[in-house]
Amino acid sequence: MLDVGCGTNPFRGRIANLTGIDPAFDSADYRCTIEEFSSNIQFNVAFCLGSINFGSEETILRQIGHVVDLLTPHARIYWRCNPGRQDHGNEQCKEIDFFSWTPELLTQYAEQFGFTVADLQQDSNNRLYCEWTR
């Protein structure tokens, strides 16, 4: 399993064979961006829980492509996406270029990268939770 943007790597030791990457936290197994990460191992599952949320559509598509390249032919991706809301309770948050995820974009990108949306839900803060399978 691959945890993209693992942060403090809270799933380490709780999920077998988990590899966490994050550019900002020393507790990641690999301190790098998804674009910088490479592996000889292909993963069956990727977690993108709030990590592919920043920048332009071009940036988002490039990052998704890197994740997909690291996966086996029958992999799953689990998503938590921000619909562009700068509501994290921190004034500096307003300076961040959040990508405006929508259910339609999650579905469109899933198809574009050869996946099917198995589940798609929205919470009370309008965060999107999605599972892609192929």
Length of the chain: 134
CATH code for the domain in which residue 49 is found: 3.40.50.150
What is the number of domains present in the chain?
Answer: 1
Q: How far apart are CA 1 and CA 89, in angstroms?
A: 31
Tens-digit pLDDT profile for residues 68-92: 999 999 999 999 998 765 555 566 6
Helices H / strands E in the chain, number of each: 2, 6
**Angle at which helices 57-69 and 103-112 cross, to 10°:** 50
125 against 40, higher pLDDT: 40
CA dist list (Å): 102 to 19, 40, 63, 107? 28, 33, 17, 9
Tens-digit pLDDT profile for residues 31-49: 999 999 999 999 999 999 9
What is the extent of the structural domain holding 65?
A: 2-133
Q: How far apart are CA 94 and CA 85, in angstroms?
A: 9
How would you class 97 by CB atoms within 10 Å of its CB: exposed for 0-12, middle for 13-18, buried for 19 or more?
Answer: exposed
Mean confidence (pLDDT) of the chain: 91
